């Protein structure tokens, strides 16, 4: 009997020891390996982020239902989308390796156990890989809602899943002012009440660096590897506060030091060759979207030709814009940008429940670099502005027109204060509709308002030229006042031309110089 019991105990111990490897082997045998596209010709990809997926989300929950997620994956597959991995994205930015056509990266937030259980078979049945964000503090807590390390190791071993770091304390609020106000861990220096002061830059950077070190040590101990990517908690690294230059510099520097990639989460999905790999876009999927609205939204992010086949400029309607902040609505195919009014209409100095303006981005304009952008708009209240070549590094070119008739040209370079490039005045009545046309060619900018060339001619831009988003905004220092209407938007790609003239024309040097100055935006070479 003793030998029988020992034999039985040995068999049980062997089964326990080999249970996880056998389970992984069976799952690998049942499900086909992750799909990879052999044809790689693309230089852009979209990234999706799911807060969570569950069978029956509660009303108001940010989670998508399991049935809806399954339908969304079907629509992506039928739409010709090809799933990619973090390794693909890393190789694209670090080694220049191209991506599949219509590449999509699928990601999930905070290692939620319910999400993994809801989506794993849907993804594995298609052979689609995905990325799970891991908040190490939540994993350590061993609660029922979060995956634990042996689950995460099993996911990684299956070959379908990659793990991204999502901080240790990043979802914990910190005190930021001596009035019991709070902010997220990564977005502000901490208020040190005992010393009646804020953290210094060195103290802030030390706190952020220690959090990354904790995460990396946990990954190394539990998975014997370093994560390729970092997901900023709540998608925020300080980009929403113009004054937070130090915060942004520290956060992006830490990502560059510790990871190959960094991701935010928000309303944009497309990432291009010119995107900053330290803060790539992920579109947060809204559970209220219908299946058709979901696929239409994803499709809209892909760049389209700036010039139509017939040579005419491409026209964009109000539905082509995506609101960033403030009130952004389409009314009868007119894009309305308005500041949100405060609850107390007599309190126009406080932005507690209102905004000083509104901003929107032209979907799919991420790859615009050179060409002409024209806006027909109605001036209402505040300063109307156009952003060109706007990147996730904080760079942009800006042209603004205010209700007093002043026109300004500005440029923002990475980690540098905004530069004023030129000032001028409107040639017509401020109260009427205006046509603003901005032409970019390499490091030259030409601005026309109602047909008149502004700033006395070309404007010289600083730094290297690059592609970036097109945006529009309205702003006023008083809360709830700013308002403008964009009637139409047209874009024409760069057109290079040679200008020649006869010796007879050249004798009238005054007329020739005037014509050349007025039409310089239309040509590249003089002969």
Residue-wise pLDDT for 303-328, tens only, equals: 877 665 556 678 888 888 988 888 99
State residue 222 phi and psi, 5-degree precision: -95, -30
The answer to whether the CB of 135 falls within 8 A of the CB of 168 is yes
The answer to whether the CB of 251 falls within 8 A of the CB of 238 is yes
Q: How far apart are CA 448 and CA 140, in angstroms?
A: 59
Q: How far apart are CA 372 and CA 312, in angstroms?
A: 12
Q: Which of 211, 213, 216 is nearest to 233 (CA)?
A: 211
Could you read off the pLDDT of 387-417 as tens digits, one per residue? Answer: 999 987 788 999 999 988 899 999 999 878 8
Could you read off the pLDDT of 127-184 as tens digits, one per residue? Answer: 999 999 999 999 998 888 999 999 999 888 888 899 999 999 999 988 877 555 678 8
Q: Which two tokens stand for residue 436?
A: 């603003």
Instruction: Tell me the domain boundaries of the chain.
Output: 47-300, 314-495
pLDDT at 398: 97
pLDDT at 3: 66
The answer to whether the CB of 402 falls within 8 A of the CB of 388 is no
The answer to whether the CB of 329 falls within 8 A of the CB of 337 is no
What are the DSSP E strand ranges found in 428-505?
433-441, 444-449, 452-453, 459-460, 469-475, 483-493, 498-499
Confidence of residue 350 (pLDDT cuts 50, 70, 90): very low
Q: Which of 265, 260, 289 is nearest to 276 (CA)?
A: 260
Q: β-pairing, 525-526 with 371-381? A: unpaired
Q: What average pLDDT does the segment 430-436 reach?
A: 83
Q: Decide if pLDDT at 233 tops 50.
A: yes
- State the Cα angle at 357 between 236 and 418, rounded to 5°: 65
Q: Does domain 314-495 have CATH number 2.60.120.560?
A: yes
Confidence of residue 501 (pLDDT cuts 50, 70, 90): confident
Q: How far apart are CA 236 and CA 248, in angstroms?
A: 10
Q: Which of 88-97, 174-183, 234-243, 506-515 has the lowest mean pLDDT?
A: 174-183
Q: Decide if pLDDT at 39 tops 90.
A: no
The dihedral region occupied by 168, where left means phi > 0, alpha psi between -120 and 50, and beta the remainder, is: alpha
Q: How far apart are CA 154 and CA 160, in angstroms?
A: 10
- State the Cα angle at 468 between 338 and 310, rounded to 5°: 90
The answer to whether the CB of 216 falls within 8 A of the CB of 165 is yes
Q: What average pLDDT does the segment 92-120 reach?
A: 95
pLDDT at 37: 59
Q: Which two tokens stand for residue 305?
A: 């030709």
Q: How far apart are CA 226 and CA 264, in angstroms?
A: 19
DSSP code of 17?
A: H
Q: Which of 323, 349, 368, 339 is nearest to 470 (CA)?
A: 368
Q: What average pLDDT does the segment 270-286 reach?
A: 92
Consecutive H or E run containing 74: helix 66-78
Q: Could you tell me the fold of the domain covering 47-300?
A: TIM Barrel (3.20.20)
Q: How far apart are CA 133 and CA 131, in angstroms?
A: 7
Q: Decide if pLDDT at 348 tops 50.
A: no
Q: Decide if pLDDT at 196 tops 80.
A: yes
Across 250-264, 270-284, 345-359, the highest mean pLDDT is recorded for 250-264
DSSP code of 521?
A: G
Arithmetic mean of pLDDT over the chain: 87
């Amino acid at each position: 009997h003793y030998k029988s019991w020992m034999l039985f105990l040995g068999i049980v111990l062997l089964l326990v020891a080999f249970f996880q490897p056998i389970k992984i082997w069976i799952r690998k045998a049942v499900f086909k390996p992750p799909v990879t596209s052999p044809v790689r010709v693309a230089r852009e990809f979209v990234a999706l982020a799911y807060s969570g997926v569950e069978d029956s989300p509660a009303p108001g929950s940010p989670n998508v239902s399991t049935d809806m997620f399954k339908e969304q994956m079907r629509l992506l597959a039928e739409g010709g989308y090809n799933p990619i991995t973090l390794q693909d994205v890393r190789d694209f930015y670090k080694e220049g390796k191209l991506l599949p056509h219509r590449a999509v990266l699928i990601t999930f937030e905070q290692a939620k156990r319910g999400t993994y259980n809801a989506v794993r078979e849907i993804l594995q049945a298609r052979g689609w890989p995905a990325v799970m964000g891991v908040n190490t503090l939540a994993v350590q807590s061993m609660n029922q809602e979060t995956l634990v390390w042996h689950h995460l190791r099993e996911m990684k071993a299956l070959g379908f899943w990659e793990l991204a770091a999502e901080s240790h304390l990043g979802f914990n609020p910190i005190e930021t002012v001596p009035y019991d106000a709070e902010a997220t861990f990564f977005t502000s220096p901490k208020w040190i009440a005992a010393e009646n002061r804020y953290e210094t830059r060195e103290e802030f950077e030390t706190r952020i660096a220690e959090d990354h070190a904790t995460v990396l040590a946990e990954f190394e101990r539990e998975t014997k590897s370093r994560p390729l990517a970092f997901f900023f908690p709540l998608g925020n690294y300080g980009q929403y506060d113009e004054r937070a230059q130090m915060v942004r510099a520290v956060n992006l520097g830490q990502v560059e030091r510790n990871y190959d990639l960094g991701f935010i989460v928000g309303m944009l999905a497309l990432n291009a060759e010119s995107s900053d790999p330290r803060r790539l876009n992920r579109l947060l999927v809204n559970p209220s979207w219908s299946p058709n609205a979901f696929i239409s939204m994803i499709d809209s992010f892909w760049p389209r030709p700036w010039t139509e086949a017939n040579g005419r400029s491409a026209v964009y309607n109000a539905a082509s814009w995506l609101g960033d902040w403030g009130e952004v609505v389409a009314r009868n195919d007119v894009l309305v940008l308005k500041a949100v009014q405060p609850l107390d209409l007599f309190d126009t100095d406080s932005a507690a429940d209102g905004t000083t303006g509104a901003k929107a981005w032209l979907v799919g304009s991420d790859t615009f670099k050179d060409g002409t952008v024209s806006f027909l708009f109605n001036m209402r209240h505040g300063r109307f502005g156009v952003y060109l070549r706007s990147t996730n590094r904080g760079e942009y070119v800006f042209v603004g027109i205010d209700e007093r008739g002043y026109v300004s040209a500005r440029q923002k370079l990475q980690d540098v204060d905004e530069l004023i490039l030129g000032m001028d005045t409107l040639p017509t009545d401020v109260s009427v509709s205006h046509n603003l046309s901005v032409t970019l060619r390499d490091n030259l900018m030409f601005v026309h308002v109602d047909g008149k060339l502004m700033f006395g001619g070309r404007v010289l831009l600083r730094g290297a030229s690059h592609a970036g988003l097109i945006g529009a905004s309205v702003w006023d220092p008083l809360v709830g006042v700013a308002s403008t209407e964009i009637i139409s938007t047209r874009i024409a790609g760069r057109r290079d031309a040679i200008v020649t003239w006869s010796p007879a024309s050249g004798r009238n040097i005054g007329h020739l110089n005037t014509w050349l100055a007025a039409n310089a935006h239309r040509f590249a070479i003089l002969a």
